[in-house]
């Protein structure tokens, strides 16, 4: 008889110790492909958040981390990268079980996170100020200091990659942190924290983790008077609430929120390259990405041919359990989210868009217990429709024709979001004109997604505040201090 699988239960990590929640409750993490329980984690309370923040505050105020030399902080960051690479296989399998993404994508996420920590290890040694000079006897020092205690609120869609953006920069700057992972992906976060716990050079209290839902864990972290900064990735609606709560004591905030990115294909693009890029720009991770190219703008002269090619790809793509090596698109994260996405598909049909492919929940065979939705493609989409204007966060694509470059710009900018976008063309002059006119934080040209952590990522308009990764991402965790020295007396004494 086959032995029953023992579901692991994870504790909070506070001040270098694994501790149960004060409330004693547990939350369950489910495999979205099978509905099975992957793990249990603490359903934390306000007192748990208080304990984690107080530990981070002590560690910061006692200089156990910010007082270390830059090369010592860099060593710890490099060690984190090494441990991620050494454990890529078990971490990837767990990430796929908990999040649903294909195993190859999960491996890519873990390795990407390792690259991010390596990057911040390098620039941790290059946080330097400057000395403006105003005269013989006046000297000004401009110095950079860590912000303090940082609350890092991480989503479920790329839980380790996005955590690396926040934690890498925070540790490089000399900050301490309290991490709040999504309630959908606590296990992969806590396994990552096990790696941190094994690094003896990382002092207790520098990194702390409390698990649980946004209420009360996230809100108590945001409101806490001893927290100096909040970095959040998630929906624009939640970002607004965080902004309001953080205003009580004027916390520093980073908000990386929603997107409705435009993928613009000009008539001189490499056709096959653009079709593949546009397809995976929306359907990778089942569309559960803030930077997904959910609005596809195709020049009218190639529109019909391009749409046919997309539908052909959608018919051939493999949707299934991410642990199956043949799977290309995995499930949505939960039944609640699946119902939300299906609601948008219904809305598109009711508002008059034409469904050219997909639109169904997949329940055949081994997919019956999971949260799978077909790659869905709409045409005849107008600007006032919900599927054009609102972030769906699922495998739903709107394909819209345009006639000239200015019309493409107008359609692309007609949204409250401004996170990312793509341009596919061989003409550098058209590319640059359109790129400069788009009100969005990132433009990818003849590609999709960032080449590495060296560049900043963040949005215009209601897609957020601030930047992550790159030197700009590091600066979000640093305060700027000006020290003005009047050395007149000393100079005159030396002259005498």
Domain 9-257+463-481 and domain 262-445, same fold? Reply is no
> Is the pLDDT confidence value at 387 over 70?
yes
pLDDT tens digits, residue range 415-439? 999 999 999 999 999 999 999 999 9
pLDDT reported for residue 495: 67
465: nearest Cα among 314, 156, 251: 251
pLDDT of residue 160: 98
Which tokens belong to 261? 């990115």
Residue in this structure with the two tokens 């939640």, named with its chain if needed? 238
> What is the distance between the alpha carbons of residues 223 and 220, in angstroms, rounded to a whole number?
5
At residue 494 the predicted structure's pLDDT band, cuts being 50, 70 and 90, is: low
Across 302-321, b (16+ Cβ under 10 Å) vs e yields: bbeebbebbbebbeebebbb
Coil vs helix vs strand at 182: coil
| Whether the Cβ atoms of residue 177 and residue 56 lie closer than 8 Å to each other | yes
The tens digit of pLDDT for each residue in 121-159 reads 999 999 998 888 777 778 889 999 999 999 999 999 999
- Cβ neighbors of 226 (< 8 A, separation 6 or more) are 53, 54, 56, 57, 149
Q: How many CA atoms lie within 13 A of 119 on its CB side?
A: 26
Q: Is it true that domain 9-257+463-481 has CATH number 3.40.605.10?
A: yes
Q: Is 259 exposed, middle or buried (0-12, 13-18, 19+ CB in 10 A)?
A: buried
Contact 286, 330 (CB under 8 A): yes
Instruction: Report which of residues 495 and 376 the model is more confident about.
Output: 376
Parse the chain into domains and list their residue ranges: 9-257+463-481, 262-445
479 bridge partner residues? 145
Q: Is the pLDDT of residue 51 over 80?
A: yes
Residue 343, CB-side half-sphere exposure with 13 Å CA sphere:
11
CATH of domain 262-445: 3.40.309.10
**What is the per-residue pLDDT for 131?**
87
Region 394-399: what's the mean pLDDT?
Answer: 98
- Provide, rounded to the nearest whole percent, the portion of the chain with pLDDT above 90: 92
Using DSSP's 3-state secondary structure scheme, residue 300 falls into: helix
Average pLDDT, the chain: 96
Q: Which residue has the tokens 């409390």?
A: 210
Q: 3-state DSSP call for residue 178?
A: strand
How sure is the predictor about 496, in pLDDT bands with cuts at 50, 70 and 90?
Answer: low
**Whether the Cβ atoms of residue 382 and residue 403 lie closer than 8 Å to each other:** no
Instruction: Flag whether pLDDT at 401 surpasses 90.
Output: yes
d(CA 173, CA 150): 11
51: tokens are: 């304990």
Helix axes 88-99, 159-173, angle to 10 degrees: 120
Distance CA 451, CA 331 (A): 26
Annotated catalytic residues are 256, 290
């Amino acid at each position: 008889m086959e032995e029953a699988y023992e579901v692991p239960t994870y504790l909070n990590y506070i001040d270098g110790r694994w501790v149960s929640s004060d409330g004693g409750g547990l939350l369950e993490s489910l495999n979205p492909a099978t509905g099975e329980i992957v793990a249990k984690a603490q359903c934390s309370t306000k007192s748990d958040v208080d304990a984690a923040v107080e530990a981070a505050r002590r560690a910061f105020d006692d200089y156990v981390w910010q007082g270390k030399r830059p090369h010592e902080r860099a060593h710890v960051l490099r060690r984190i990268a090494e441990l991620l690479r050494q454990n890529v296989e078990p971490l990837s399998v767990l990430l796929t079980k908990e999040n649903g993404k294909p195993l190859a994508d999960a491996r890519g996420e873990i390795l990407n996170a390792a690259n991010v920590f390596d990057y911040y290890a390098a620039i941790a040694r290059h946080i330097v100020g400057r000395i403006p000079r105003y005269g013989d006897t006046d000297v000004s020092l401009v110095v950079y200091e860590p912000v303090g205690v940082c609350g890092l609120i991480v989503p479920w869609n790329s839980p380790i990659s996005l955590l690396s953006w926040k934690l890498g920069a925070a540790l490089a700057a000399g900050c301490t942190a309290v991490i709040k992972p999504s309630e959908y992906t606590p296990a992969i976060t806590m396994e990552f924290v096990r790696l941190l716990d094994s690094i003896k050079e990382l002092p207790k209290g520098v990194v702390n983790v409390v698990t649980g839902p946004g209420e009360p864990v996230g809100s108590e972290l945001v409101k806490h008077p001893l927290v100096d900064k909040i970095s959040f990735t998630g929906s624009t609606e939640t970002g607004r609430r965080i902004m309001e709560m953080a205003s009580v004591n004027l916390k520093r905030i980073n908000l990386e929120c929603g997107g409705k990115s435009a993928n613009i294909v000009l008539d001189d693009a490499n056709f096959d390259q653009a079709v593949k890029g546009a397809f995976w720009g929306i359907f990778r991770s089942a569309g559960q990405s803030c930077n997904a190219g959910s609005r596809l703008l195709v020049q009218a002269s190639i529109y019909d041919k391009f749409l046919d090619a997309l539908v052909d790809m959608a018919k051939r793509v493999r949707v299934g359990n991410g642990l199956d090596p043949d799977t290309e698109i995995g499930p949505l994260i939960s039944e609640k989210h699946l119902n939300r996405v299906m609601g948008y598909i219904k809305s598109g049909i009711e508002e008059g868009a034409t469904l050219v492919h997909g639109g169904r929940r997949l329940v055949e065979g081994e997919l019956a217990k999971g949260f799978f939705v077909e790659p869905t493609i709409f045409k005849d989409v107008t600007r006032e429709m919900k599927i054009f204007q609102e972030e769906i966060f699922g495998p739903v694509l709107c394909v819209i024709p345009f006639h000239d470059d200015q019309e493409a710009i107008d359609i692309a900018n007609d949204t409250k979001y401004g996170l990312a976008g793509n341009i596919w063309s061989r003409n550098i002059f058209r590319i640059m004109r359109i790129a400069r006119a788009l009100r969005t934080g990132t433009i990818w040209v003849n590609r999709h997604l960032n080449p590495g952590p060296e560049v900043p990522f963040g949005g215009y308009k209601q897609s957020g505040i601030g930047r992550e990764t790159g030197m700009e991402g590091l600066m979000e965790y640093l305060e700027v201090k000006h020290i003005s020295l009047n050395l007149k007396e000393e100079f005159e004494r030396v002259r005498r």
